[in-house]
């Protein structure tokens, strides 16, 4: 027969409710009692019935993860895999499951969220994007449902969020290139309505202003997606206008596409920098310099913020800023 919570309680000489509180991570249980119960659980090889627990305490111990359309092909954009890995590590540590939803557009994201929240399938929602006038954030705030955003939301006061300092990260990249003597530096970015895209573009522009260098808007190409094809398109637009000495991008995939065009045209004297420091960056020719945004940490701390808040609503911490590092490789000349 399967071991029950009553068997654990009897063996540990505590009540079944105490066992439940230990499993839920209740901070009011003493360390001695917690250790005794956990040792008994291990000894009896007890596995909690997730469905029974959710019915008993109105919690599913499941988080809903909403992936944007850009995440449909995870193998093409490792960023999402890295963030999801970080989320899973913390969730697993705390006994939570993850329910994934892939969407084609923002309206579909909202519909998935409505299904999750109306049916109470999940205890909280994790969003992997933050847009201008974000419909998902507005809906979740309207119904007061627990959620966290990977990315800086427009209103940060009452929202859980995790992000890099994207402004500062791009500023440092452009500043590094300027200090190496570059003056004509092009920018290839993703969707304009993503707050991350706006912050990185602002950092790019600010670096020129600080150094008193004028730049031309024709050096800026913003595409509709973070793909190699978009990087190729952006690079072609820039080359149609001028031959820059350096190109910065907001994603490694955009940089891969830009590099493909440079190779195609046999152009070898342009510095190139990506973002996310994906595993393939080091294997480009030349090896791609890239900003490591610590995507695993972004996911880990997003899950931590949400789960900690679900367990203790009095927690006041509402965001984390994750550090970034420019990894210089052969593509910076």
**Against a cut of 0.85, is the pTM above it?**
no
> In angstroms, rounded to a whole number, what is the distance separating the alpha carbons of residues 58 and 226?
39
Q: Kindly state the average pLDDT of the residues 175-191.
A: 96
The pLDDT tens digits of the residues spanning 21-63 come to 887 777 788 989 989 998 998 888 887 665 555 545 567 889 9
74, pLDDT greater than 70: no
Q: What's residue 31's pLDDT?
A: 87
For residue 11, what pLDDT band results from cuts at 50, 70 and 90?
A: very high
Q: What's residue 103's pLDDT?
A: 82
Q: What's residue 21's pLDDT?
A: 84
Q: What's residue 77's pLDDT?
A: 76
For residue 69, what pLDDT band results from cuts at 50, 70 and 90?
A: low
The percentage of residues in the chain with a pLDDT greater than 70, rounded to a whole number, is 94
| Lowest model confidence (mean pLDDT) among 11-25, 50-64, 221-235, 268-282 | 50-64
For residue 73, what pLDDT band results from cuts at 50, 70 and 90?
A: low
Q: What's residue 238's pLDDT?
A: 97
68, pLDDT greater than 60: yes
Beta strands at 319-322 and 325-327: parallel, antiparallel or unpaired: unpaired
The pLDDT tens digits of the residues spanning 111-151 come to 999 988 887 889 999 999 888 889 999 999 999 999 999 99
**Average pLDDT of the chain?**
91
CA 150 vs CA 194, 254, 257, 296: distances in Å? 12, 20, 25, 11
| Lowest model confidence (mean pLDDT) among 102-106, 188-192, 221-225 | 102-106
């Amino acid at each position: 027969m399967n071991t029950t919570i009553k068997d654990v309680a009897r063996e540990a000489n505590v009540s079944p409710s105490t066992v439940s509180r230990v499993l839920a991570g209740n901070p009011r249980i003493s360390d001695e009692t917690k250790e005794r119960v956990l040792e008994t659980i291990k000894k009896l090889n007890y596995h909690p019935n997730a469905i029974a627990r959710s019915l008993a305490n109105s919690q599913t111990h499941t988080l809903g993860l909403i992936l944007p359309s850009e995440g449909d092909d995870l193998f093409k954009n490792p960023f999402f895999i890295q963030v999801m890995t970080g989320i899973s590590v913390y969730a697993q540590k705390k006994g939570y499951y993850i329910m994934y939803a892939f969407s084609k557009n923002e309206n579909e994201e909202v519909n998935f969220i409505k299904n999750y929240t109306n049916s109470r399938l999940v205890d909280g929602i994790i969003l992997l994007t933050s847009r201008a006038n974000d419909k998902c954030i507005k809906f979740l705030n309207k119904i007061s449902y627990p959620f966290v955003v990977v990315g800086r939301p427009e209103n940060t006061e009452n929202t859980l969020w995790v992000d890099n300092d994207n402004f500062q990260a791009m500023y440092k990249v452009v500043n590094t290139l300027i200090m190496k003597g570059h003056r004509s530096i092009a920018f290839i970015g993703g969707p304009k309505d993503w707050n991350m895209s706006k912050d990185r573009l602002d950092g790019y522009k600010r670096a020129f202003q600080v150094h008193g260098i004028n730049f031309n808007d024709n050096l800026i190409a913003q595409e509709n997606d973070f793909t190699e094809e978009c990087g190729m398109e952006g690079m072609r637009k820039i080359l149609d206008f001028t031959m820059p000495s350096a190109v910065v991008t907001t994603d490694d995939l955009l940089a891969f596409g830009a590099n493909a065009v440079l190779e195609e045209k046999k152009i070898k004297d342009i510095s190139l920098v990506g973002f996310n420091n994906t595993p393939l960056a080091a294997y480009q020719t030349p090896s791609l310099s890239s900003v490591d945004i610590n995507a695993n940490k972004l996911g880990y701390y997003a899950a931590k913020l949400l789960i900690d808040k679900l367990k203790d609503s009095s927690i006041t911490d509402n965001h984390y800023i994750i550090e970034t590092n420019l990894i210089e490789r052969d593509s910076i000349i």
